[in-house]
Structure 1
Amino acid sequence: MSEKNSRNHWSIKDGDYERKETNEVDFKLIKKQKSRKRKAIYSVLAIISIIIEIFILKVVAKI
């Protein structure tokens, strides 16, 4: 039976279980990097949508 924890990761190799230990610090760093990437993507999308709205308003104002 394989178990998954935040600290321990189990993998099957040649029919035997091999225990791989990883640090919690690594997981925290990875989570921070992922959340930073997500925030950056959302901010870029927000800026793009604002620019598109400004162009649409200019076109509507001309008509």
Structure 2
Amino acid sequence: MNRYRKYLRKLGLFLLTIPVFMFIFAPVLWLFSASLSTQVELFSVPPHWIPQHPTFQN
């Protein structure tokens, strides 16, 4: 029983860590993606996470 509880605790912490990591890391990915996007792609709706025509002009 003790081993089972330890496993569940680790699993719970892992499952809690994933959304927190995504919440923190998503803006960094957006900044990198936006730096390679054109002006049209930056203001398009819905936003593009991966630029279709990467450029270094921004």
TM-score (norm 2): 0.47
TM-score (norm 1): 0.45
Normalized per residue, the structure richer in helix is 2
Indicate the structure (1 or 2) with the bigger Cα radius of gyration: 1
